[in-house]
Copies of this chain bind each other. A is one copy, B any other.
């Protein structure tokens, strides 16, 4: 397998599963670090801050830093900053999205917004949704961090950001612009910030419709690991496949 400069790892299903580390992945990441390569972590999770995600990685023995972690909240904030630098921004979301918007010094408002950005918010209220509906109907651009309709918990699948986006889309007849994987914004943000070429980058993940398609859409090599959502068997039925298939990351010799 080729050697890369920028190894971009998905998190859930690739580096850990819920609260359990995937040991082969942790070992591979640490091998990269020891050989002088600083890997990147690329997640659609917009509710957590890089500091929160870093704490989790650190607890598994991974040595990295906040600057190596790219969330869909950060990518959304960078996108808004670039496309609408002076925008009045109304948000629904948790700490991850709030802090990302603040770190881009965007102007957060409660009404008369130019942009509405939506991430999962487990403190959602009718008032927040009503406000979003009014703002989008009044012309605010509708951006969403990720499209997962559900996510798994111990008691079963429960609503993800994609389902709340469906609510606002139903109430406004406006379709959201998604920034998370499989859109290429997260990978592009890493490339631009660090000056990589596409040939130097690889996206590693378990989920075909987010991770592998993000890599393909962006035009970089991809590695599917058989440790999460999409089985290798399922991926092999897709017309556009990843560059490499691995059972787990212990198979990757560098």
Given contacts A121-B126, A123-B126, A126-B122, are A157 and B170 in contact (CB under 8 A)? no
Interface locus among A76-84, A130-138, A195-203: A130-138
State which of B123, B134, B155, B158 has its C-beta within 8 Å of the C-beta of A171: B158
Given contacts A123-B126, A124-B125, A126-B124, are A171 and B156 in contact (CB under 8 A)? no
Measured in the bound complex, the distance between the Cα atoms of B169 and A149 in whole Å is 10
> Do the beta carbons of A156 and B134 come within 8 Å of each other?
yes
- Point out the residues of chain B lying under 8 angstroms from A156, CB to CB: 133-134, 137-138
Within 8 A of B (CB), among A133-162: 133-134, 137-138, 149-150, 155-160, 162
Q: Nearest CB to that of A130 among chain B residues? A: B158
> Do the beta carbons of A129 and B159 come within 8 Å of each other?
yes
A167 in the interface (beta carbon within 8 A): yes
Measured in the bound complex, the distance between the Cα atoms of B105 and A20 in whole Å is 46
Measured in the bound complex, the distance between the Cα atoms of B102 and A186 in whole Å is 51
A246 in the interface (beta carbon within 8 A): no
- Point out the residues of chain B lying under 8 angstroms from A125, CB to CB: 124-125
> Do the beta carbons of B171 and A159 come within 8 Å of each other?
yes
A174 in the interface (beta carbon within 8 A): no
Within 8 A of B (CB), among A92-110: none
- Point out the residues of chain B lying under 8 angstroms from A126, CB to CB: 121-124, 159
A163 in the interface (beta carbon within 8 A): yes
Measured in the bound complex, the distance between the Cα atoms of B159 and A137 in whole Å is 11
> Do the beta carbons of A158 and B170 come within 8 Å of each other?
no
Can you report 21 A-B residue pairs in the complex whose CB atoms are below 8 A from each other?
A122-B126, A124-B125, A124-B126, A125-B125, A126-B159, A133-B150, A133-B158, A133-B163, A134-B155, A134-B156, A134-B157, A134-B158, A138-B156, A149-B170, A159-B168, A160-B171, A163-B167, A164-B167, A166-B166, A166-B170, A167-B170
